[in-house]
Chains A and B, each alone.
Chain A
Amino acid sequence: QKEVEQDPGPLSVPEGAIVSLNCTYSNSAFQYFMWYRQYSRKGPELLMYTYSSGNKEDGRFTAQVDKSSKYISLFIRDSQPSDSATYLCAMSATGGSYIPTFGRGTSLIVHP
């Protein structure tokens, strides 16, 4: 079992839909959770990060962490074609050398 599991998709939704992207993990030491967006042939861009369980909102994006279930989600409201990209979750244990473990990414396609 990989430390971080993420469905590669692709996930295809119509414009305006609410998108739910998810990752599960097995390492209970993970305390720091991140979501990155990666457009084709570009480097990943940090979207959101959180240290704790619960929800964190930033504009149309909401990150949710459930440590008891080892499950994290990224919700995108009012999705736009420009949101079409690969979304990678990443997580790490606090302290130490801070090397995150990445999921393989979910490809999202938002069609007009």
Chain B
Amino acid sequence: GAVVSQHPSRVICKSGTSVKIECRSLDFQATTMFWYRQFPKQSLMLMATSNEGSKATYEQGVEKDKFLINHASLTLSTLTVTSAHPEDSSFYICSARDMGTDTQYFGPGTRLTVL
């Protein structure tokens, strides 16, 4: 199946710093990528939809100035958590839609811990 990578897999940072997470589709092109957040034993919460070459669409309640998304190419989307606070600590997962098969593939996730 198609492969989606995320980097870093784990990050620990101090409160007030910014963290960038990369999501790459390795063997297919993705005009659309999705960013999710998942708390322990909870389902995936869609944060935003990232479209290549245009602005991301954010879900209600998600601060676009705090969670900056850039989809610079057909294989790369980045999520930057700005001025991170402990309440931003979570598991962030991206997914990419394979244009050829119309199937969504997930990355392995990034665990963010803000001290």
Q: Tell me the A residues contacting B by CB distance below 8 Å.
A: 6, 8, 34, 36, 41-46, 49, 88, 97-100, 102-105, 107
Contact = CB atoms under 8 A, between A and B. Distances in A.
A103 B43 contact: yes
Given A44-B93, A97-B32, A98-B32, A104 B49 contact: no
How many residues of B sit at the interface, in one of the four size bands?
20 to 34
B44 A102 contact: yes
Q: Is the interface of A mostly helix, strand, loop or mixed?
A: loop
A36 B4 CA distance: 15
A42 B105 contact: no
B6 A46 contact: no
A46 B108 contact: no
Interface in B38-62: 41-44, 46, 49
